[in-house]
Amino acid sequence: MLEKSFDADGLNKATKTVIEIEAGRAVTNYQFLKDLFQACMMSNVEYLVVAVRNIYSSNKDFETMATFFDTLYASNRLQLPLKGVLAIGY
């Protein structure tokens, strides 16, 4: 069951999943990175779901975020305390 959290748009304690839904500032202000950092700092959170617009102001926000996450995980230079990150474009 989803619960409202002061740091997240949604939190499912049973699955240890935090959900963040971003609109216009997801990439422009690097809000998706703040979401990632906050999820890493939250206790008892193992998964992060981040939803961003596919395109915002003619910028490919989802593609930019997905490429960043792919690069972060592929480099293996930064170990995150999360078991998984799901990126959703809408």
Residues of the chain whose pLDDT is less than 50? 3
pLDDT given at position 56: 87
pLDDT given at position 6: 61
As a whole-number percent, the residues of the chain with pLDDT over 70 amount to 93
Work out the end-to-end distance of the chain between its first and last CA atoms, rounded to an integer number of angstroms: 23
How many other C-beta atoms lie within 10 A of the C-beta of residue 65? 26
Cα→Cα distances 59→69, 72, 83, 89, Å:
17, 21, 29, 13
pLDDT given at position 28: 87
